[in-house]
Chain A
Amino acid sequence: MILIIDLNEIKNSLYYYEYVKPITDLIKDYKVVHYKDLNKLHIKKVKKIILTGTSLKDIGYLDHYKDFSWIRTTQKPILGICAGMQMIGKIFNAKIIKKTEIGLTTLNQFNSHALFNNINNAYSLHNLAITKPKDFDVYLKSKTCIHAVKHKNKEIYGVLFHPEVLNKGLIINFAQ
């Protein structure tokens, strides 16, 4: 089972349809939990974890980064999407920086990984990005910022773009 952690500020808001459902539509066996309801048992019971993206205006999740300290210690594979990548970055002491990209974005590959190969275009929707976290490698970049990272020794992945729009295969491959 895949645990999908909803990072949108308000539980069961209209944003569920936009940032959570497109991910659940790609995965057969999943459970969605809002980040404010997350506990250790949720993490223990699942195989992998996805942290969702949020809207441009919704950055409230960053105020709760201390509730995500488990990201450092869990052995479960994690995929952070947009806000999720920013959270991973925050936990691993990257800086959160202001970078706005909205719409179709051209990406360049810097390293090879099965999850990130052949991704030349993606859909972006962010006002924030991260610097390279220590112990992570960079895989994809736009002209403006880092778009895909992976921890050197763990299966922790972060993508700044929204793969549920143009790169659904990435989510499907991660979930397998």
Chain B
Amino acid sequence: MILGVLFSGGKDSLYATYLASKNEKIGCLITIESENKESYMFHTPNIHLTKIQAKALNLPLITVKTKGKKEAELNDLKKAIKLAIKKHKIQGIVTGTLTSIYQSSRIQKICNDLKIYCFNPLWQKNQLELLNELVKNKFKIIITQIAAEGFTKEWLGKKINKETIEKLKVLNKKYGTNLSGDDGGYESLVLDGPLFKTRINIKKYNIITLGKFNGIYNIEAIE
């Protein structure tokens, strides 16, 4: 089966891509660039880097822009998936959704309408198990946005490794912070991993502080 991956560049969509590639062929990546930074549907920080990640993965990328208006943005997602079906003959979609019923049900409805398969290999996955598997499988991941209590700006740019996982467990115990960031507590970017043909190196970045526990690791240049 040929599949298209809903791709944000973060750890969840990359890991879903990796799991999907073991069973099926990945036909393309699909990225929705949302103008709405508060979007519930689409991951936004450093989304422009998905082009570089797609090149590093040697996979075609379909990018569709959306204004990010709630529910209306789904028409843009449907448009992107239809384009993937036409251009890359995909028979199904893969997502990295862990627990969000909001996201999952909307994507399932679109796939149901288009009569294509919908795979969510991380659905309901234990979050600690996910993080440990990412480290075990040698994914190189950095934190690129924080938006939850306990996440000070020192977290921005931090790599996800065994040490970080222990620190996330401390935050989880103290503040109830979601280990995987699935609730929007943090966002990530994958720089290298088992499917990558080349590694991504950050040449220049700046930190944008939006509040005490809110900030972005803004990547300006890649080599």
Hey, which bits of chain A sit against chain B, CB under 8 A? Answer: 12-15, 17-18, 21-22, 25, 55-57, 100, 102-104, 123, 125, 127, 164-166
Contacts and interface: CB of A to CB of B under 8 A. Distances in A.
B111 interface: yes
B119 A56 contact: no
Contacts of A165: 101, 124
Contacts of A102: 105, 108-109, 112
Given A55-B117, A57-B115, A102-B108, A17 B101 contact: no
A28 to B, nearest CB: 14
Nearest to A164: B124
Where chain B touches its partner, the secondary structure class is mixed
Nearest to A12: B23
A127 B112 contact: yes
Contacts of B108: 56, 102-103, 125
A66 to B, nearest CB: 26
Nearest to B3: A14
A100 B19 CA distance: 29
Given A17-B19, A56-B108, A57-B115, A103 B101 contact: yes
B180 to A, nearest CB: 15
Nearest to B117: A57
Where chain A touches its partner, the secondary structure class is mixed
Contacts of B104: 103
Nearest to A19: B123
Given A21-B125, A25-B126, A15 B101 contact: no
Contacts of A125: 105, 108
Interface string B97-127: 0000100111011011001111111111110
Contacts of B160: none
Interface band, chain B: 20 to 34
B6 interface: no
Contact of A55 (B20, B94, B118, B126): B118
A56 B120 CA distance: 12
B24 interface: yes
Nearest to A127: B112
Contact of B121 (A14, A103, A123, A164): A14
A70 B24 CA distance: 34
A56 B107 CA distance: 12
A23 B121 CA distance: 14
18 contacts: A12-B23, A14-B19, A14-B121, A15-B119, A17-B120, A17-B121, A17-B125, A18-B119, A18-B124, A22-B123, A25-B126, A57-B115, A102-B108, A103-B108, A103-B109, A104-B105, A164-B124, A166-B101
A22 B124 contact: yes
Contacts of B24: 14
